[in-house]
Chain A
């Protein structure tokens, strides 16, 4: 509510006081449901935009969706305010953007996590399955019980892609590794339910899991908290979440949405089409910093770095769930 109002006031002011600004074309960023400070996906995008601000001294427009129903009006308002290029976050915007983009042919759009086939849209997708494969390997190596688990947010193919990559990685280390997969829900509310995330984690721990990987937006905060409370390892997602519970967070599967936003904002020339951010371009990576160097062993690093190279040069093929909506390993 407040943010929308602030945005309204902001755009109104900009239109009144600085009409020239519209032609100057500030970039725009539309933050998805889950919120700017979800410590995960959206926050990563926000961090990228902030880095651009710091480095260039420029200004950008930002708005945050409050409900599902606002997608189209927010996107249109952003385009009409003269922002260019506009970055929208999340798969859920794909159909809306597909309808909106043709109405603003002079505005460049970029969508993260989905492919929209329009001449003025850049689609940025990540190979989350390969990054998840690597953290799955680390999970299986860190596990003492031989059972690792996964808590997803909303039950959609994109999140299954994380789960499937993770399961493949864990089973690559030891085919007998058991992988428990739970989804928080089937509506967007599943991105923002830390209580339920924590409860699912406790249920998984009760089933023997001692490493849990959360790919659940704001819900993941509850997953990581429960893991820290119960004294098991957890794996963060999207942003580097190692600092949340040092010593309990084994690593984070970083999806460099921040780099993607930064690149779009600072690009000299806009390139439409699909851009794939993979292990090689460090679009996805596992996180290693001072918070988790005590828990990540040399063996893990060696194995994971080797697997990373093998994935890059094609020796290991990690199945992408979204290509056929099925996963070759059982979980």
Chain B
């Protein structure tokens, strides 16, 4: 395996990790504020649909992104009203959101486009194009030229033109969202209060700060980020919406969140690991290693096997926010 292959796998890793990362950070905000959210999947799905549908009808991917985020935030609001204002069970509300999104997207898509629950393929301005960094194209053609001339270039330059450059804008947004999340949560007053509300809402309330308002804010930020994740799936990673296209990514993001112990930079690491496992599986489906053939079925199961092994053995104790899952009832 040469250096170029490694970089190609890393390139694929970043693409695959992006939706997980955005969804994972979304869950981080919500759960740090004490609102469990298993509706990440549903919010991504509804965002994916509306971003693709609006991007297709208007021909403008930015309007699509806006629509996707708005749809996701509406769903987040439903979750907030049910579980914060009306103190319903957060898990049940999340499950309801997943079902609602799965049914609603296909129903609307069928009525709107009559293509069996999908949107037409996006093209041109209807989707996010890869951003090429300055000099990347020159380096790439330089590398190809060198390879064609049998110079055996090391491929180190591919780190720049393949791994770093050439992704859609949402990929960079997702990566920048990690330090931003860390800064908001650990370096701002809002972040301190948000974390406190997930640990001990009573104390926050005693200090004269509204628990309800903080939790609403956290859940809406969660909606914003899942909206970006969904829009990326439909307009960056793919070109259009298809039925159930999130394919369990919201749940993998939840696993990554636990794995990351509710911390932003750990979340980046966890999501990249899950992305890497998927990328490796795509690349080496049935390749012989050390003289014997590894069946592709094993490679396909590998991400899940490793998830279980890592979660069970290496992560240590993951302690969720103490007030997580419990609606706050003001003491009289």
Please state if B243 and A200 are interface contacts (CB–CB under 8 Å): no
Interface membership of chain B positions 277-300, coded 1 if the CB is closer than 8 angstroms to chain A and 0 otherwise? 011001101100000000011001
Across the two chains, which residue of chain A brings its CB closest to B5? Answer: A206
Is the C-beta of B200 less than 8 angstroms from some C-beta in chain A? no
Q: How far is the CA of A155 from the CA of B233 in the complex (A)?
A: 25
State the majority secondary structure of interface residues on B.
helix
Contact B103 A186 (CB under 8 A): no
- Binary contact readout A21-46 vs B (1 if CB under 8 angstroms, 0 otherwise): 00000000000000111100000000
| Bound complex: CA A2 to CA B117 (Å) | 10
Residues of B within 8 A of A64 (CB): 116
Whether B285 lies near A194 (C-beta < 8 A) is: no
Query: Does A8 sit within 8 A of B, measured CB to CB?
Result: no
Within 8 A of A (CB), among B90-130: 103, 106-107, 110, 115-118, 121
Q: Could you say which of B12, B107, B121, B247 contacts A221, with CB atoms under 8 Å apart?
A: B121
User: Could you tell me the distance between the alpha carbons of A191 and B236 in the complex, rounded to whole angstroms?
Assistant: 21
Q: Which residue of B lies closest to A34 (CB)?
A: B116
Partner of B121, one of A183, A193, A195, A244: A244
State which of A37, A181, A199 has its C-beta within 8 Å of the C-beta of B15: A199
Asked if B238 is an interface residue, CB under 8 A from chain A, the answer is yes
Partner of A196, one of B106, B110, B282, B283: B282
Chain B: which residue is nearest A221 at the CB level?
B121
When distances are taken between beta carbons in the complex, the residues of chain A under 8 Å from B121 are 221, 225, 244
Q: At the interface, yes or no: A198 with Cβ under 8 Å from chain B?
A: yes
A34 and B115 alpha carbons, distance in the complex (Å): 12
User: Which A residues touch B83, using CB under 8 A?
Assistant: none
Return chain B residues, CB-CB under 8 Å to A202. Answer: 12
Residues of chain B within 8 A (CB-CB) of A225 are: 121, 238-239
Q: Could you tell me if A37 and B247 are in contact, using CB atoms closer than 8 angstroms?
A: no
A169: Cβ under 8 A from any B Cβ: no
What residues of chain A lie closer than 8 Å to B117, measured between beta carbons? 35
A199 to B286, CA, bound (A): 16
Given A186-B297, A203-B283, A38:B238 Cβ within 8 A: no
Provided the pairs A1-B103, A192-B242, A244-B121 are in contact, do residues A199 and B12 lie with their beta carbons within 8 angstroms?
yes
Closest B residue to A2 using CB positions: B107
Q: State how many angstroms separate the Cβ of A35 from the closest Cβ of chain B.
A: 4
Bound complex: CA of A192 vs CA of B8, how far in Å? 25
Choice from B12, B115, B286 contacting A37 with Cβ under 8 Å:
B115
Contacts of B243 in A (CB 8 A): 35, 192
Give Cα A64 to B282, complex, Å: 30
B242 touches A199 (CB 8 A): no
| Complex: A291 Cα to B82 Cα, angstroms | 53
Q: Is A90 an interface residue (CB 8 A)?
A: no
B116, B233, B279: the one contacting A195 at CB < 8 Å is B233
**6 A-B contact pairs sorted by A residue (CB < 8 Å):** A35-B243, A36-B116, A186-B297, A192-B242, A194-B242, A203-B12
List of 4 A-B pairs having minimum Cβ-Cβ separation, nearest first: A37-B116, A35-B116, A206-B8, A37-B115
Known A-B contacts: A182-B282, A199-B16, A206-B283. Give 20 more (CB < 8 A): A2-B107, A2-B110, A37-B118, A181-B286, A183-B285, A183-B296, A186-B300, A189-B247, A192-B242, A192-B243, A193-B247, A195-B238, A195-B245, A199-B15, A199-B278, A203-B12, A206-B5, A218-B242, A221-B242, A225-B121
